[in-house]
Structure 1
């Protein structure tokens, strides 16, 4: 009798099971990367919006003290900027804090603060 070489059914099933486990772990990792890149993009846009708002405040007349909620449309989404202006320890400065989040809720994606000159009295 001549012996034939090849894979048995059991060996093929084990190889398929190993491949299935590896494929599912790769799919899970890729889903995590896609989710993280979306979050990273939101944080980047929130940083840009906060920096733009702070730059505008530095260029304009000094802002009034208090809390203000602004809405801006950027990247086909609505963003909510919460701006708080308070007096700083130095009499000629105001402290401005801005928190940015998406309008539909969720956590603050970026928080920034700076000082701007106060109104001349």
Structure 2
């Protein structure tokens, strides 16, 4: 049994006899590890920046859609009959918005098609339109009447 314990003790090297190479990392290994870490950090930073940007765009579009729906509801509630285009600036949803209402004729004179386009106003500058909706308004003072669908292009005479 002493032979076994003797072979264990003779096989181990004292800590002072280890070479410098076995004690830690070389400068090149550390620099490669830092370079890999830097690349990963830059990629993660760009991905998070793109994510935050897309979240902001979606939030702006969602709020703009709420503003457009509210503008359409106001037209219907106030029973407004638009005859000309209208542009107004409103403050809603905690932001300033430009609301452009473009009026066009519909199938019958008793109906008007209104396109409501919403653009955010940031630092006093109107940005591009982020959402728009189409609504039909009816004139309660004018009878809708019947439609002659045979006279519509593509219909049978």
Settle same-fold status: TM greater than 0.5: yes
How far off is 1:24 after superposition? 0.6
Superposed structure 1 runs of 4+ greater than 6 Å apart: none
One of 108, 111, 116 as aligned partner of 2:137: 116
How far off is 1:5 after superposition? 4.2
Q: Which residue of 2 aligns with 1:98?
A: 116
Q: Following superposition of structure 1 onto structure 2, how do residues 42-61 of structure 1 map, counting pairs within 5 Å? A: 42-61=60-79
**Larger radius of gyration, structure 1 or 2?**
2
Tell me, which stretches of 5 or more residues in structure 2 are unaligned? 1-16, 143-157
Q: Secondary structure of 1:66's match? A: coil
Residues 81 and 138 in structure 2, CA contact (< 8 A), matched pair in contact too: no
Q: Secondary structure of 1:40's match? A: helix
Q: Which residue of 2 aligns with 1:87?
A: 105
Report which structure shows greater RCO (CA 8 Å, sep ≥6): 1
Q: Secondary structure of 2:52's match? A: helix
Would you say 1:19 and 2:40 are equivalent positions?
no
Higher strand content, 1 or 2:
1
How far off is 1:76 after superposition? 3.4
Separation of aligned partners in 1, 2:111 and 2:49: 47
How far off is 1:74 after superposition? 2.1
Q: Which residue of 2 aligns with 1:2?
A: 18
One of 59, 64, 82 as aligned partner of 2:82: 64
Matched residue pairs, number? 121
Tell me, which stretches of 5 or more residues in structure 1 are unaligned? none
Alpha-carbon RMSD across the aligned residues, in angstroms, is: 1.6
TM-score w.r.t. the length of structure 1 is 0.89
TM-score w.r.t. the length of structure 2 is 0.70
